[in-house]
Amino acid sequence: MTSLLAVLIDGSIYASWLFLVAAGLTVIYGVMRILNMAHGSFYAIGAYSAASLVGWYFNNGIGPAWISYLLLVGAALVAGLIVGVIIERGLLRLMYGRDEILMVIITYALLLILEDTMKIVWGVNPYFAYQPYSELGRTSLGLLKVSNYDLSLVGVSAVIGLVLWGLLERTNTGKVLRAVIHDREIAVAMGVNVRLMFTITFVIGTILGALAGALTAPAISVVPGIGIEVIVLAFAVVVIGGLGSIGGAAVGALLVGLSRAAAVHYAPEFELFVIYGVMSLVLAFRPEGLFGRTLARKI
């Protein structure tokens, strides 16, 4: 019984983290049709920015702990905004209209450049921002003790998912974005500034990637290479859910999170395999993913 409870809790926490990581990737693909390999670097930049800022805040004993949570989010917003605008305006804008495969190669090159840039900026030593993680304490559920910070990630993830849904479904900008998703040429003909929509989308995707990194930073040692590791998982999640689908990313994350937690508790030897096992199974029956569509795509 304890193990079953642990699977549900661990699975939900891991799923919320996966959704945070995958949301930006699927938003960018949904609107721009760019399979962004550099998304892992946005995650790492968010983690480094947050760890640097929060580390500086606590090392200087400036103020109360709750401000550090605002700093985590603030660091991600600023880092994501700056990096997103520079990359979209300075690089991707010159490449629009090219083949999707070429865009994969371009963003992969970008990932390599950003990985080395991060080493120049932050070096190779680890960064820590553990205070926000430990400050929230933990909750005891029988033999199981769960970090409140981890539990709060489930709520944060749900809020981000709802905000994204609201943005797309309940705002004028969202309507325009959906028009671009359904038919870019018709949208242009109707007077939509598609390039501006691309910039907005890419910056939102970058901020989401950076936010995932920033919110993860307190629980990990921020070291070179963390972005490379998450991009593989993020791809698995969005492929399961269907490329470009926010709802798909959420369901994909939940499926992977719960499957992995069950494997860890009941069959640890299959833990490495289970994520890709789920992905293979889904793709065998639905090659476009659970919520993917072959023609009209929706996010």
Partner 1 sequence: MKNNKTTFSKYLVSGVAALALTAGLASGASAAENGKFRIGIVTFLSGPAAGPFGVPSANAAKVLVEALNKGELPAPYNKIGINGAEIEAVIIDEAGGATKQVEEYRNLVQRQKVDAVIGYVSSGDCLAVAPVAEELKTFTIAYDCGTSRLFVENSDAKYMFRTGLDASVDNIGAVRYLAATRPDVTRLSGIQQNYSWGQDSWADFTAAAAKLLPESEIVEEQFPKIYQGQYGAEISALSVKRPEIVHSSFWGGDMEALVLQANARGLLEDATGLLTCGEASLATYKDQAPNGMIIGARGPFGAFAPENELNTWFKGVYNAAYDLDPVYPATKMAQAILGLKFAAENAGLADKEIPTADQLAAGLKGASFPSVSGTVEMARGNGHQAMQGISYGEYHYEDGKASIVNSVSFSGECVTPPEGVSAADWIAQGFPGAQCN
Cα(278)–Cα(285) distance, rounded to whole angstroms?
Answer: 11
Q: Exactly one of 11, 24, 161, 244 binds partner 1 (CB under 8 A); which one? A: 11
- 152 touches partner 1 by CB under 8 A: no
Give the dihedral sign, CA 246/247/250/252.
Answer: negative
Q: How far is 276 from 238, CA to CA, in rounded Å?
A: 12
**Dihedrals phi, psi of 214, to nearest 5 degrees:** -65, -40
Give the residue, chosen from 70, 94, 120, 143, that forms a contact with partner 1 under the rule CB under 8 A. 143
Phi, psi of 138 (to 5 degrees): -145, 165
User: Which window, 68-76, 104-112, 122-130, 182-190, contacts partner 1 (CB under 8 A)?
Assistant: 122-130
Nearer to partner 1, 148 or 199 (CB): 148
Distance (Å, whole) CA 255 – CA 291:
13
For residue 120, state whether it binds partner 1 (rule: CB under 8 A): no
- Which of 166, 225, 277, 287 is close enough to bind partner 1 by CB under 8 A? 225
Handedness of CA 285, 184, 244, 154 (dihedral sign): negative
Is 209 in contact with 39 (CB distance < 8 Å)?
yes
When binding is defined by CB under 8 A, the residue of 41, 52, 157, 216 that contacts partner 1 is 216
Give dist(CA 280, CA 116) in Å, integer. 33
Residue of 155, 229, 280, 286 that binds partner 1 (CB under 8 A): 229
The answer to the question of residue 223 lying near partner 1 (CB under 8 A) is yes
Cβ at position 261, least distance to partner 1 in Å: 5
Residue ranges that bind partner 1, judged by CB under 8 A: 2-3, 6-7, 9-11, 13-14, 17, 119, 124-126, 128, 130, 133-134, 138, 140, 143-147, 149-150, 216, 219-226, 229, 260-261, 264-265, 268-269, 271-272
